């Protein structure tokens, strides 16, 4: 689960994640499934489907995401903009 609670009404997954991860090196893509690689410097890619996010995760799990990569830390999260307090890891 992403521990982020602010009083703002975020209009998109991207703005929500930018607020929740202000130190992210980048947030790219579009969609409600976020692949978060919090190794060294957090990076986030957004995907329209869970399957697309899983495919991207398989690539970075295989080849790494950069320095100090720990594959076990890569995760896919479903961003529920209407109820961000309930945003949690996609199952």
For the segment 5-51, what is each residue's pLDDT rounded down to a tens digit? 677 777 888 888 998 889 999 999 999 999 999 888 889 999 999 99
Asked, for residue 37, whether it belongs to a domain, the answer is yes
Q: Across residues 54-59, what is the average pLDDT?
A: 94
Question: What's the distance, Cα to Cα, between the start and end of the chain in Å?
Answer: 12
pTM score = 0.81
Number of domains making up the chain: 1
The beta-carbon contacts of 17-22 under 8 Å, at least 24 apart in sequence, are: 17/44, 17/46, 17/79
Asked, for residue 2, whether it belongs to a domain, the answer is no
User: How confident is residue 84, by pLDDT bands cut at 50, 70 and 90?
Assistant: low
The answer to whether 89 touches 38, Cβ cutoff 8 Å, is no
- The residue that leads in pLDDT, 89 or 78, is 78
Tell me: pLDDT of 1 over 60. no
Asked, for residue 4, whether it belongs to a domain, the answer is no
- The residue that leads in pLDDT, 66 or 44, is 44
Domain region containing 84:
13-89
Specify the pairing of strand 26-29 against strand 43-47: parallel
């Amino acid at each position: 689960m992403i521990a982020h609670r602010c009083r703002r009404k975020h209009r998109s997954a991207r703005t929500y994640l930018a607020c929740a991860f202000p130190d992210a090196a980048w947030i790219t893509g579009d969609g409600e499934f976020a692949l978060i690689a919090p190794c060294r410097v957090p990076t986030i890619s957004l995907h329209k489907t869970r399957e697309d996010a899983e495919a991207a995760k398989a690539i970075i799990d295989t080849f790494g995401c950069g320095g100090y990569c720990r594959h076990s830390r890569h995760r896919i999260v479903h961003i529920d903009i209407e109820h961000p307090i309930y945003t949690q890891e996609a199952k």
